[in-house]
Amino acid sequence: MDEIDRTKLWYHTNLDVFLNQWFADYDQARAALESGGGFLFPYQKHYFVCKPDVVAALGLDPNDSDWEKIGRDCARPNDSEALSTTACKSVSRLSADAVQSGRRS
């Protein structure tokens, strides 16, 4: 299996249908998370804040207790172990999707 690009782990083209808030600066993204809620993710050299629907589209449960441990911030998580568990779930989902569609991730 090809190596997963961790700078692109949290964003996929199927998420283009969602309206997310994008930021070049972490502090601005964090302020948006704190004021409007949601989830904060890194993507390459940027950050985006999204709603629970995006997390579900990633194949993850937005109500999973690990999100609270992480602080809903995957760029600078409160609990790195919880983030690792969640990232593994995401990678597993990507791998399963790739097998199901007959292509490699």
Residue 80 lies in a domain: yes
pLDDT at 98 exceeding the cut of 90: no
> Which pLDDT score, from 0 to 100, does residue 86 have?
81
> Which pLDDT score, from 0 to 100, does residue 105 have?
42
Residue 17 lies in a domain: yes
Q: What is the mean pLDDT of residues 24-49?
A: 96
Instruction: Label residue 5 by pLDDT band (50, 70, 90).
Output: low
Burial bucket for residue 38 (CB in 10 Å: 0-12, 13-18, 19+): buried
> Which pLDDT score, from 0 to 100, does residue 84 have?
85
Residue 1 lies in a domain: no
CB 70 within 8 A of CB 77: yes
Q: Which domain holds residue 77?
A: 6-101
Q: Which residue has the higher pLDDT, 58 or 14?
A: 58
Residue 59 lies in a domain: yes
Nearest to 41 by CA among 74, 76, 7: 74
Q: Which residue has the higher pLDDT, 82 or 21?
A: 21
Structural domain count, the chain: 1
